[in-house]
Amino acid sequence: MIKNSIVGFPRIGQQRELKFALEAFWSKKISAEELQKQAKELRLKNLEFQEEAGIDLISSNDFSFYDGMLDTIVLLGAIPKRFSDISDELELYFTMARGDEKRVAMEMTKWFNTNYHYIVPELSKSTRFTLNANKIIKEFQEAKEFGVNPKINLIGPITFLSLSKSVDGSDVYEHFDAVLRVYEQLLEQIAAMQIFVQFDEPIIVTDLNNEQKNYLLKAYEKLSQVSPNLNLIVSSYFDYVDKDVVEALASTKIWGIGLDFIYGKENLDNIQNIKDKYLIAGVVDGRNIWKNDMNSTLKLLDKISSTVQKERIVISTSCSLLHVPYSLKYEDKLDSEVKNWLSFAFEKLDEVSLISKLFHNDVLLEKDNIAFETNTKANALRKNSSKIHNEALQERLKSFTDAKRSMPFEERIKTQKEILKYPSLATTTIGSFPQTDELRNLRSSFKKNKISQEEYENGIKKYIDECVKIQEEIGLDILVHGEPERNDMVEYFGEQLNGYAFTQNGWVQSYGSRCVKPPLLFGDITRIKPMSVKWITYAQSLTSKIVKGMLTGPVTILNWSFVRNDLAKKDVAKQLALALNDEITDLQNADIKIIQVDEAAFKEGYPLRKSKKDEYEKWALEAFKLSVSSANAKTQIHTHMCYSNFNDIIKTIEAMDADVISIETARAGNKILKIFKEVGYKQEIGPGIYDIHSPRIPSTEEMTSQINALLEIFPKEKLWINPDCGLKTRKWNEVVPALKNLVKAVKIVRGD
């Protein structure tokens, strides 16, 4: 009897082994064979961890060298034409993800409302699909040889098609029959294995139209009849699934349906007609790091079992554990009280296992009883901890009700242009410059007390000196200080705020080899002292050109942190906004004339359901406006947004009332910008003209062409020219020539 399962497991390794292996391979320090060897070791370790924890349904094919959607593109043979001349499979795979000198990488965007990125499939009328099951078969056999009978994880056909983009204007669902046939061929090929197959269909937690619902039903009616040897699971996560969709799936011959009861509480009302299917109940939070409250979870399961037969309920995580760090094992510097509230991927395996035993009335060992008692005690202590609540902050927040700028944009911008005197097509960057090994070692040595404060600060100043000098030599109009003091755009600020804690090894994959270490926002937020003024003013002292102040916005800090689950997000965002409001006051008083408040994650925080959108927009907008409300009319406020389709939020962007917005659009093309023209967007804008996620260096001619294309959408007086995101992940030998080409292109267009 299957009693528990895991949607998926992290793949980067306990010490980011995959990251370092990938980067060594890309820099030709290790061979493809060595990369494959290290990857296999990671996969087998993951199987071992899950087996030892007592997980019944362990996944294979949840490992990826870069991204699961990219793996699915390869599985289906949906390779864009520009890559078709690459014969080596690994070279093809990484070139699609990263591009090369001749080919632009495939577009990358956020996976639903998470900070994980996926590669966007490109489809056209000419796309042909052919099965390539090599990876799936290899990893399944690998698991069998290890001694595990795993389920195979796949991204489902409806999610694949819904998240694909058409490159020729055709309907991506024209490919439904062809795509479904490849999935059928795959199931036919593995049918002899007599296994479980998990189809991840997170798209079904969004507002599906009738066409999508019909395709969903047709897909699983067909797939569930391929072979009686296969037990198919359709897994959803991140929100709730409509009642009629659950019923449609229940009418097919699939084995089980996975529902998220953490972020989709409405699922409780939608499971009445689940019939004879197994319910994979997502009751352990796969997206956050707080210890499960097992007493509350067992009460929730009792409610579920009043509708679904108890023996048909499989205890699971709410989503893949890809979204949380590996283990608390290496966290020996965390405050012991805070650490006692936490649960990472390894610990969640034990939670799933123990909840399964408790719910299904299995025999408990002494260690199980101790673990349950420890869990109960930890949750009680957290609720009453003095570390969490700040009464003085609560009183101060009451006085901030309707914060906004003191002057309308049209009047502000006139004042700013007179004072700042920047040209049309002003050139700048988004903020960060390359994070070199020397810089990382400097910060690490300082944290470990291997060097003095003076040595550390001298090292930071040296970097800023060089950074300003390079920008001046390149000829950029508006400069940045390069952010050498910042390990991460959220963690840096969190380190200077009360209410935050930090891990040593709490890494989470963002994309490919890129990992982030989200801080832990556990209590009320207050600013200890000015956070950025020292280094911004130092950089400004080096040049007569304007240096931007660089802050991370409240919504992005929130969305890129692991956030406390005992307070509404809108209230946490307001606390963060108040701290940033104080910081802007200090920067302004230090004569910093342009301040960028990055809201890179503003869009990704949107709920997946339209019914929840208005509430999010209201508090997110209020938080940003509160942050910048201390800026006077002469101070120009910039913001930056990543990976966004702006059509549905353009009015909200306008309402943010920033003076300039820069946006990440290089991989997506200019089509998404036309909405700004259609609505008569009045603020100034800096669409990224080249992709910083690829090592390729665009030519002056390419950038000139891109600027001219932008001028067909925006007047030159409103247009800023910049890369599409920060440059911290690139190397100097990529950054300098790219920016030189950017400035040359602007001069050509200006006629300088």
The CATH number of whichever domain residue 368 belongs to comes to 3.20.20.210
Q: Which of 175, 323, 638, 693 is catalytic?
A: 693
pLDDT given for residue 643 in this prediction: 59
Per-residue pLDDT, 166: 95
Antiparallel, parallel or unpaired: β 122-123 and 59-60: unpaired
* 70/149 same-domain check: yes
712 CB burial (10 A radius; 0-12, 13-18, 19+): exposed
Q: What is the pLDDT of residue 325?
A: 97
Is there a contact between 189 and 75 (Cβ–Cβ < 8 Å)?
no
Structural domains in the chain (count): 2
Told to judge if 481 belongs to the known catalytic residues of this protein, a careful annotator would answer no
CB 69, CB 160: distance < 8 Å: yes
Residues 97, 160, single domain; the answer is yes
- Are residues 656 and 558 both part of a single domain? yes
Question: Is 401 a member of any domain?
Answer: no
Same domain as 421, residue 334? no
> Once rounded to an integer, what is the mean pLDDT over residues 714-735?
94
CA–CA dist 292, 299 (Å, integer):
13
Q: pLDDT for 266-318, tens place per residue?
A: 999 999 989 899 999 999 999 999 999 999 999 999 999 999 999 999 999 99
Domain for residue 393, yes or no? no
Q: List CB contacts of 16: < 8 A, sequence separation 6 or more.
A: 507, 515
| Pair type for strands 508-511 and 514-516 | antiparallel
Looking at the fold, whether 378 and 449 belong to one and the same domain comes out as no
Is 169 part of any domain? yes
Phi, psi (deg, nearest 5) at residue 694: -115, 145
Does residue 710 lie within any of the structural domains? yes
Mean pLDDT of the chain: 94
pTM of the model: 0.88
Enclosing domain of residue 488: 407-496+531-750
Tell whether the model's pLDDT for residue 199 goes beyond 90: yes
Angle in degrees, CA 550, 551, 554, rounded to 5: 160
- Residue 611 one-letter amino acid: S
Do residues 377 and 307 both lie within one domain?
yes
- Whether residues 244 and 374 share a domain: the answer is yes
- Residue 302 falls inside a structural domain: yes
Domain identity same for 483 and 548: yes
C-alpha 481/C-alpha 717 separation (Å) is 25
Residues 416 and 356 placed together within one structural domain of the fold: no
For residue 344, tell me if it sits in a domain: yes
pLDDT band at 679 (very low <50, low <70, confident <90, very high): confident
Same domain, 158 and 75: yes
- Whether 363 and 437 share a structural domain: no
pLDDT of 687 above 80: yes
Residues 430 and 374 in one domain: no
